[in-house]
Amino acid sequence: MELREEAWSPGPLDSEDQQMASHENPVDILIMDDDDVPS
pLDDT exceeds cutoff 60 at 35: yes
Summarize pLDDT for 9-34 with one digit per residue, the tens. 555 555 566 565 555 655 655 666 66
What integer pLDDT is reported at residue 8 of this predicted model?
A: 54
**Rounded CA gap, 7 and 24, in Å?**
17
Report angle CA 10, 4, 27 to the nearest 5 degrees: 130
What integer pLDDT is reported at residue 14 of this predicted model?
A: 56
**Rounded CA gap, 35 and 26, in Å?**
15
b/e map 7-31, b = 16+ CB within 10 Å: eeeeeeeeeeeeeeeeeeeeeeeee
**pTM metric for this prediction:** 0.17
